[in-house]
Structure 1
């Protein structure tokens, strides 16, 4: 009964408190930014772009004001609620700006302190215990959502990195096998053909012996950039070995794949340059050998397709290098 009596007696005060809180949202935002600026210096303004604050922080604070007015509005902070989405976006923005988790937690605790400072000064004589619940519950949910969103983005980035070759940013060997298997299933389902290209840098081992591993890494990156420039956005490049690349070409016939392979061979020969310097002379003229095969025209299984493409690549090497061979 005391709770009901309190609600009845304090309802008008709570409505007024929520209204006052909304009227002072930008005062809270400005104090928050000033506190962070004092801690981090001028660099904080680069990390806290005002456009993001306009989109996110005032929305979160308005959500808190609604809970002050009516605790039922806590649902806005649950998954699917408008405040939940704003908090998630704020967390994603923080991760994109390379914030550490401790920094994200710190800025939210600063915000909580500023909110409470305002409430103690301006929202009395309300029941302190009830007011604490109506502020801390949405703030706690907001912080949890921001951190979880941050962690989810971080986990996705780690997963992405785990599937990528560090040198070229192409798919690594394991990710290539998974992606090739997925493409085979998709092509079977929709009855599409797709092609596989494998290319190998001619004389790469000798190049490393002459110029060193660092020059070899630079050359691999140069070749990968040329490959990326030639292929479509839907094509999927991978690093298949030390100096070998594989490219999956979805919905691509053998004739189309051969044209792509030839353009790739010519472009690498023309655009890739040795970066190592020997006797004040820059070496040039990198060449690659390429093998091409197509599903289902050449092979009906994954192993067959990879084996045939590898055979075509070996034949290109055996035939003198700097050529394209298809099955």
Structure 2
């Protein structure tokens, strides 16, 4: 009965020879020059038999066999390894899921015919002998040495802490080590033939593809990419390319920088945060001010600030101690946060002074929030025997303002509140 057969070999002479032998027997034959082409063919093709050479470009024969056996729809497909390194490689056929191993040699066509007959009779998998033609070839010392060196490198690559991926300049995955599989949370068999760039968020697709296309060739790559999100982690890439015969192959080293980035972000946040109260500090105010002024100039929307000073705070520190004073500051922050909106930002300006930045808020709106804060502080039960009040100053940003002029008006308004008896809100217009 005629069979659908796929032959995978990078030697055009072998492809032609095997194809002609099979076609003369009435079989339908398709061919592939490398493992990647074979995977693409198998995406829409169900062969009865696959002949696979071990030394093929892009995705080697061992990986291709493992890929085939990972696909349930190919369970009934016979896999025949047809290779010239059968005596040197020492491959465990069972681990690859191969049904037979034919050595390339003078009697290859006879062995192919024997295997085909056993497949037709459904007896191939019943025989203990899976190797055909071994008596016609002898191990070559140079090949054995190269294969042993290859295994040595495989052990190193498999134990790298960084992910390593071999891929085409277009991003198609040809090989992954265990660390890369762990980062991508997908097995190697499922990764082969997929596009690596698509594992990144959409905005990083173009950037990652440019890294591959511009990969320097041959020499050691020292430059890392910018951190990119990958499967809830952050990674950087080092990419270089090598020539594999007529093909260019890219190697990407994936370094997990999640902890480093998290530490960096934490330190960055700490540099903008007041350690005592947990709110933003004065340095952070500078950044927020620049962002808000740009919004005002672009969209013509107002913003205001409220400067708050705790009345007679020095007396609290002097009479009750700095620890109690610190408690008062922390409690005051709780009250401030309860009275402001989610869009507002609270900063510790220094000592017992705080600033609230109010986006999209005119002077009347800022006055309402300031009065709400004043009243809430006045009625709050602080951990001190005396009452605690605040004096507040409100200032509206003007297009010719900088930080100093805006805050100066709010500070003058606070001074006015204190002069008028404290525990009140004052507004100074330019």
Q: TM-score range by the shorter chain?
A: 0.5 to 0.7
Distance 1:190 1:77 in 2: 37
Shift in Å, 1:65 = 2.5
- Contact map agreement 1:273 1:286 (CA 8 A) in 2: yes
CA contact (8 A) 1:197 1:257 kept: yes
Q: Do the aligned partners of 1:290 and 1:313 also contact (CA within 8 Å) in 2?
A: yes
Aligned to 1:292: 394
Specify whether residues 61 and 176 from structure 1 end up closer, same or farther in structure 2 by C-alpha distance, changes over 3 A only. Answer: closer
Matches of 1:76 and 1:293 in 2, distance apart?
50
- Mapping 1:168-247, distance limit 5 Å: 168-247=277-356
Q: TM-score, normalised by structure 1?
A: 0.61
Is 1:272–1:284's contact at 8 Å kept on the other side of the alignment? no
Does the CA contact (< 8 Å) of 1:60 and 1:86 recur in 2? no
Secondary structure of the corresponding residue to residue 273 of structure 1: coil
The structure having more radius of gyration, on CA atoms, is 2
Q: Which residue of 1 aligns with 2:184?
A: 60
1:13 equivalenced with 2:65 (yes/no): yes
**Aligned partner (choices 228, 232, 244) of residue 89 of structure 1:** 232
Of Structure 1 and Structure 2, the greater helix share is in 1
In 2, distance between residues paired with 1:306 and 1:290? 12
User: How far off is 1:284 after superposition?
Assistant: 4.3
How far apart in 2 are the matches of 1:306 and 1:208?
26
Paired with 1:194 and 1:255, the residues of 2 have a C-alpha distance of 11
Structure with more contact order per residue of length (Cα contacts < 8 Å, sep ≥ 6): 1
Report what 1:269 is aligned to.
378
Is 1:319 aligned to 2:319, yes or no? no
Distance 2:282 2:397 in 1: 20
Q: Secondary structure at the match of 1:6?
A: coil
Question: What value does the CA root-mean-square deviation take over the aligned residues?
Answer: 3.2
Contact residue 226 and residue 272 of structure 1 kept, 8 A = no
Structure in which a larger fraction of residues adopt strand: 2
Name structure 2 gaps, 5 residues minimum: 1-9, 12-32, 35-52, 73-180, 209-226, 236-250
1:98 matched to which residue of 2? none
Q: Who is 2:123 aligned against?
A: none
Q: Measure how far apart 1:234 and its partner are.
A: 0.9
Please give the alpha-carbon distance, in whole angstroms, between the structure 2 residues aligned to 1:180 and 1:12.
59
SS at the partner of 1:255? helix
Runs of at least 4 residues of structure 1 off by over 3 A? 1-5, 7-12, 16-20, 57-61, 72-81, 84-88, 299-302
Q: CA deviation at 1:11?
A: 6.2
How many matched pairs?
Answer: 230
SS at match of 1:274: coil
Structure 1 residue ranges without an equivalent (≥5): 21-56, 93-136, 276-282
Q: Deviations over 1:22-46 (max 9, x none)?
A: xxxxxxxxxxxxxxxxxxxxxxxxx
